[in-house]
Structure 1
Amino acid sequence: MAQVVDTSDFRPGLKIKWEGGMWVILECSHHKMGRGGAIVRGKLRNLETGSSVDQSFKSGERFERIIFDEKPAQYQYRDGEDYVFMDMESYDQVTIPSNVLGDAVKYLVDDLEVSFDMYEGRVMGIELPNQVVMKITDTPPGFKGDTASGSGKPATTETGLVVTVPFFVENGEDILVDTRTGEYLERAKK
């Protein structure tokens, strides 16, 4: 039996069927209109094509929720615009285009263990772990006394992701990054 959700259940990451396609909600905000009912504005990404749209929905509109089966996988390598993973159960190689993966490509480091999002036997995307260890490839040097400002400096990781790190972090160091927010968490333990 299909699970039904309405606009009050909208949150980033929720996957729904809408207009004959499968969509993931990237952003959403609820707006109360003066006399009329509330509306929900959202940014959605099509799970099959990778295209994104901005859309408004009437409060209370109902949708079928998509629940994926998860299957363990491991990131192998990039092949042009495609990313190659190994299915950890069958050891088959599975290729997924970058437009289907979206922002997840910023966190794909060698041998990263992920989960395939499976729907009716097809891979629809991946689920990242909450934290990933990444190597800093470029960041300006820190100076004595910089810690007083409390902010940080930009650092580019091995995948090209730019995060703000404390001044004491240097090139070549491994850091822990939160894949949900893209923020620096701490230096990686060796």
Structure 2
Amino acid sequence: MVEASGLKSGMVIMLEGELHSVASAGYHAGGGQQGSAVFAKVKNLKTGHVKELRFHPGDKLEEITLDHKEMEYLYTDGIAYYFMDPDTFEQISLPSETMGAYEKFLHPNMRFPVQLHEGAPVTIAFPAAVELTIVSAPPGLHEHQTSSFKTATLENGMEVLVPQFIKEGDTVRIEVASGKYLERVRRETRKS
């Protein structure tokens, strides 16, 4: 059990019989007749719905520890996403609602931790940023080399604004939550 005042982003708690991930939590000291409170934004791990809740700082909540197992993404049939345990070749599925914004970043053979509760898959622990290759980009404008952006298409079909120096074939790091360009990934080359 954890007190509401101890909630932190990333924790998983049980509310009304369902697992919820804490997206954000903040303590607000009361004043006058208003008592202090903890405001938390939580995401239902089964449905993907996000809601904001208010707790008294001393409220007891059941904290859940999820197990992590690295799995390999296989495919989707539009209803569910299928993953395989690379050690046992056992396959599991997650409903499409649990993917949310991650859906456009999945590609076959990608590996990442799947979070399990009592042996059942709950959600994936997707990285904050992914590396993707630019498949098409217009040539850069030399006079505006650093101050303006251009639209480029990524290998997953997504369009993103990138700096003028980015060209086809470059690998870039994209923030998953916002879908924004973060940086170009430099590949080290060795001289023989």
Q: Sort the TM-score into its range (normalised by shorter chain).
A: 0.7 to 0.9
Partner residue, 1:14: 11
TM alignment of 1:38-117, pairs within 5 A: 38-117=36-115
Deviations 1:152-180 (A, max 9, x none): 44545344655543221234432123446
Q: Residue by residue, what CA displacement relative to the aligned partner does 1:95-133 show, whole Å, maximum 9, x if unpaired? A: 211212233324323321111111111001111245422
Among 164, 167, 184, which residue is 1:167 paired with? 164
Q: CA RMSD in A?
A: 2.8
- Taking only the aligned residue pairs, the percentage that are identical comes to 33
On the 8 A contact 2:78/2:96 being kept in 1, the answer is no
The runs of 5 or more residues in structure 1 that have no matched partner are none
Displacement of 1:137 in angstroms is: 4.7
Mark the structure with the bigger radius of gyration: 2
Q: Is 1:188 aligned to residue 181 of structure 2?
A: no
TM-score (normalizing by structure 1): 0.79
Verify: 1:37 aligned to 2:25, yes or no.
Answer: no
Q: Which runs of 4+ in 1 moved over 6 A?
A: none
Secondary structure of 1:145's counterpart equals: helix
Please give the TM-score of this superposition, normalised by the length of structure 2.
Answer: 0.79
Is the Cα–Cα contact under 8 Å of residues 114 and 126 in structure 1 kept in the other structure?
A: yes
Q: Deviation of residue 77 (structure 1)?
A: 2.0
